[in-house]
Structure 1
Amino acid sequence: MENSINVSSEVGTLKRLLIHSPDSGLGKVVPSKAQDWLFEDIVHLDTMRRHEYDYYVKTLLYFLDTEKIKGKLNEIDGDESRNFYKPDHPDYFNSEKVIELQKLLADILEDNLTKMKLIAAICAIEHEWYTTHDELLSLSPNELAKTLISGTTPGNEMLFPPIPNFIFTRDIGITINNHLLLNKPAKLARTREALLSQYIFYNHPMFAEIRKNLIEIPDNETLFLLPEEEAESNQSTLEGGDVMMVAKNHLLIGISERTSIYAAKQVIKVLFEKKVLDKITLIKIPKKRDYMHIDTVFTQVKRNMWVILGTLAKPHSESEDEVLIRSGLLKSKKSEKVHLVQFRRGQENEPRVIESLEELLTEISVYDLNCSPLEVQFIYSGNNEFPFGAREQWTDSCNLLAIKEGVVIGYDRNDKTLEAFKEAGFEAVKVADLLQDFEAGRRSPETIQNTFILLPSAELSRARGGSHCMSMPIFRENFE
């Protein structure tokens, strides 16, 4: 299992994933550049790291690699000077199941040829001088990994912009059965993180067994010939938040602010040619910052349960649209529509139109995951109450990571959504309390079920990404 890479669902028991804990670059985002670097606000790094994200990592360790954390919790929490979860610390947990990207990057930089090639590539995209190349070459693998990610040298010289979105590891790639689909970011701010990720996947021994299964999306070779007004929609851009492996034979791809129709068509072509799966559904959501990716609109909780933004769940009637337009909540009848088209291998010229997100997700639960139609449930953002649905979706009420079926991590601030979970029979527990219960033996990760784990989120929510965004699963148990 240690070397296995396979994901065939969103809710099978999670066994291995890639993460990146907040680095010093996040503490260098300035207000004038925040939106250029895809952040809504500047964050307080120490609070985000020690009092929010560290709980996320501790929870993952308790469920995925218990021996790395059990019996050590009070010692870790009692030492404020320790940056416990960074790979350059002597007490770094070094799990093979909860895997830090910075550690993988440092590993591949031990090879001099890889180190030289990556430094040259980074200097080229960041427009740096030859002297910078030499300066980077003199750094140790650990120091260089930190510098390439944070943009800051060990001497505290800021060479490059930070890449604060690197904490959202979901976007760098998606595991599709035993294949890895690499992203092509839509925004310039994410170019360096995509390059670092490619080098990791192509050079780290962890991925050696599936190297032939790495899938890169081809660029549009005629893009430079197109008029400017057509070029944007024909770019090949795709981010992992728009891709969901919902069943062994079924992939969802969002068409959004970040993922283009052209890229989605390329993914369909490649995956069908390789016979990786037989069914791909495209979900076109409004191109709005509010939504960004499909995993900000819905995620899966159990085989028969989904959390979803109610306003995009069902088709609106014309009369409903008119009311929203008159009230100023909707600009046009087209702006808030969701369009769904399903393709099957061998029948690519006969796409099927699906009426609504709820219909699609119900079909996945029933036909792909063998649930009864009567069992399918939807939890709505903000409990489907105005204006809480939109407010809480903005702070990632629909962006949950299932550690196993029915056990999810989400932010503690979305009160109305949490009410809906409780009404559906879920227990809500603060992550600090849960970890102490694990440590004392009052609860067990193996037996816990139907639980919403509340993660502190004052700073994390400013970054506009939830627990689903902050994870890249590379191994989940299959359903029987």
Structure 2
Amino acid sequence: MENENQTIESDTNATTDPFDTSVVKQINVSSEIGTLKRLLIHSPDRGLGKVVPSKAQDWLFEDIVHLDMMRRDEYDYYVKILLYFLDPDKVKGKIDTLGPDSDRSFYKPDHPAYFRSDRVVDIQSLLADILADETIRTRLIAAICGIERTSFRTQQQLNQYDSLELAKIMISGSLPDLTMLFAPLPNFIFTRDIGIVINDHILLNKPAKLARTREALLTQYIFFNHPLFADYQNNIIEIPDNQHAFLLADSDTNRDVTRSTLEGGDVMMISKRHLLIGVSERTTLYAAQQVMRLVFGKNLVDKVTIIKIPKKRDYMHIDTIFTQVKRNVWVLLGSLARTGDEVKQRDVLHFFAPKDLAEELKILQFVKGQEQKPIEIENLEDLLADISKTDLGATEPIQFIYSGDNEFPFGAREQWTDSCNLLALKDGVVVGYDRNEKTAEAFRKAGFDVVPAAKLLDRFEQGQSSPETIKNTFIMLPSAELSRARGGSHCMSLPLLREEI
């Protein structure tokens, strides 16, 4: 046990030391497009290989994935792209040697050969770090075993593992021999949902579904205990519960106006003084109002825009229907934009069919000090254009790139596989999925270079391009398996630090 503790201490020091010295400002996000400097990710873990059809819906996972293919042929490219942009010394000149590595040791947070970046940070590494503390370890094991209703013997069993393995067990739900102790957390790869950075504050989520309770608990322990966040303890925002909610019947209407649930995919720090919050099937109006009250009270922003989207599985969060590409460019679903309104006006059935309020898109903008007089914005495009011009000072014409090039049925088909869910690495350079071919063509028409991730990495290695010089580019990730999870590159990232624009 003594040698094991020494190993843990060595691993912990190697992981946490960079966070104390590398960057003076550890956390700050004031836009969706400022050059990305640090983010949280989570590589697909062995728990994804435990999802079975009969439990997929309960565990909030859409499909059964081929885990090795998802990791080796797809997500690894995401990691290499992120490292080349954020921490190039880890991969520059080494790309050819990283692909053939049969055991993928470079990508495994528990392996000595792991890339161990202080800029591209796997949340599993942070969890392992805090589990090296005996007090945190004991409390977290007890809390998780309480949530999962395990036996006392299981608590004792978990305490026998070192911090690296214990972190894997807590996330995947399974032991090293793949015996399942409790349900996996397949959605943990979508780190965007666990929280959001609002300037120099961190808003923690409150998941709507019980299947994500363990995710929320692990996240709380990490943000409140890891050295990376030590200087931000007073800047962590937790959304209060409504103490009277349990008195009301749990209808859809009551749930929306009384329950306090929120996920990070419904929150965008769109400019330094403007926050967007979506009200969706996962984020309630009550939670949105509480966040607005908190950020106004802390003087973090001057404007909060609440976007109520249809409560449909197609549109889980607002980042599934639009994301920002460039100061003056957005990608969005045409059926919920102005073009969708125009199509409805040409459809005679629209005038006679009964109105379904669940399908309604509604946008209200609140200004600090004038919360009782919100401004109603009629159209999503009007909102996004105003953000580009007013909040971000765009001088070029505003462009909208539509999912599936706004062609039936490709707009809806490709939105389902996250054509609108893109991560901006910097202004005008975004990462998305290669399977959304019509959307890629729309990017080409808008003047963007559309390039597969492997080809771009080769250009970087050959010196033909670089992250510093690249402009107006849509980077396509392989996505046959990743897209089955119903989450894109925006979902798979929690930006911690961006340059101000």
TM-score by length of 2: 0.92
Alpha-carbon distance change, 331 to 78 in structure 1, aligned in 2, over 3 angstroms: farther
| Structure 2 residue aligned with 1:216 | 238
| Structure 2 residue aligned with 1:289 | 313
| Structure 2 residue aligned with 1:451 | 473
Pair 1:172 & 2:194 matched? yes
CA contact (8 A) 1:10 1:244 kept: yes
Aligned equivalents of 1:155 and 1:395: distance in 2?
33
Among residues 235, 239, 264, which one is paired with 2:263 in the alignment?
Answer: 239
Among residues 252, 276, 282, which one is paired with 1:252 in the alignment?
Answer: 276
Pair 1:316 & 2:338 matched? no
Q: How does 1:73-472 map to 2 (within 5 A)?
A: 73-229=95-251, 231-233=254-256, 234-314=258-338, 316=341, 319-320=345-346, 322-323=348-349, 332-372=355-395, 375-472=397-494
Q: Deviations over 1:129-152 (max 9, x none)?
A: 111111111111001000000001
Aligned equivalents of 1:217 and 1:322: distance in 2?
44
Q: Matched residue of 2:106: which SS? A: coil
Aligned equivalents of 1:210 and 1:344: distance in 2?
26
Question: How much does 1:118 deviate?
Answer: 0.6
Q: Matched residue of 2:359: which SS? A: coil
Q: How many residues align?
A: 475
CA contact (8 A) 2:311 2:359 kept: no
Question: How much does 1:2 deviate?
Answer: 5.3
Question: How much does 1:70 deviate?
Answer: 1.1
Aligned equivalents of 1:105 and 1:321: distance in 2?
53
Aligned equivalents of 1:478 and 1:297: distance in 2?
25
Instruction: Name the amino acid aligned to 1:306.
Output: W
Aligned equivalents of 1:382 and 1:259: distance in 2?
27
Aligned equivalents of 1:344 and 1:325: distance in 2?
34
Aligned equivalents of 1:115 and 1:425: distance in 2?
52
Aligned equivalents of 1:331 and 1:32: distance in 2?
36
Q: Gaps (5+ residues) in structure 2? A: 1-22
Pair 1:23 & 2:48 matched? no
Q: Matched residue of 1:148: which SS? A: helix
Q: Deviations over 1:31-74 (max 9, x none)?
A: 11111111221000000000000000000000000001112211
Instruction: Name the amino acid aligned to 1:91.
Output: A
| Structure 2 residue aligned with 1:42 | 64
Instruction: Name the amino acid aligned to 2:371.
Output: E
Aligned equivalents of 1:263 and 1:321: distance in 2?
36
Aligned equivalents of 1:48 and 1:83: distance in 2?
16
Instruction: Name the amino acid aligned to 2:261.
Output: T
Aligned equivalents of 1:438 and 1:319: distance in 2?
48
RMSD of aligned alpha carbons = 1.5
Aligned equivalents of 1:49 and 1:286: distance in 2?
33
Bigger mean CA offset, 152-161 vs 122-131: 152-161
Aligned equivalents of 1:212 and 1:331: distance in 2?
49
CA contact (8 A) 1:2 1:96 kept: no
Q: Deviations over 1:336-359 (max 9, x none)?
A: 321000111111111111111000
Among residues 462, 469, 473, which one is paired with 2:495 in the alignment?
Answer: 473
Q: Matched residue of 1:228: which SS? A: coil
Alpha-carbon distance change, 259 to 159 in structure 1, aligned in 2, over 3 angstroms: same
Q: Deviations over 1:341-382 (max 9, x none)?
A: 01111111111111110000000000000113x611100011
Question: How much does 1:319 deviate?
Answer: 4.1
Alpha-carbon distance change, 439 to 331 in structure 1, aligned in 2, over 3 angstroms: farther
Question: How much does 1:92 deviate?
Answer: 0.2
Question: How much does 1:90 deviate?
Answer: 1.3
Instruction: Name the amino acid aligned to 1:436.
Output: D
Alpha-carbon distance change, 240 to 322 in structure 1, aligned in 2, over 3 angstroms: farther
Among residues 51, 61, 66, which one is paired with 2:88 in the alignment?
Answer: 66
Question: How much does 1:188 deviate?
Answer: 1.1
Instruction: Name the amino acid aligned to 1:473.
Output: P
Aligned equivalents of 1:78 and 1:340: distance in 2?
49
Q: Deviations over 1:221-258 (max 9, x none)?
A: 01111123254222100000000001000000000010
Aligned equivalents of 1:343 and 1:376: distance in 2?
23
Question: How much does 1:83 deviate?
Answer: 3.7
Instruction: Name the amino acid aligned to 2:349.
Output: V
Aligned equivalents of 2:165 and 2:351: distance in 1?
54
CA contact (8 A) 2:38 2:86 kept: yes
Q: Deviations over 1:312-336 (max 9, x none)?
A: 012737745653598xxx9844343
CA contact (8 A) 2:64 2:484 kept: yes
Q: Matched residue of 1:185: which SS? A: coil
Over the matched positions of the two proteins, sequence identity in percent amounts to 64
Q: Deviations over 1:384-430 (max 9, x none)?
A: 11111101100000000000001100000111111110011101111
Question: How much does 1:154 deviate?
Answer: 2.1
Q: Deviations over 1:273-319 (max 9, x none)?
A: 11111100000000000010000000000010000000101273774
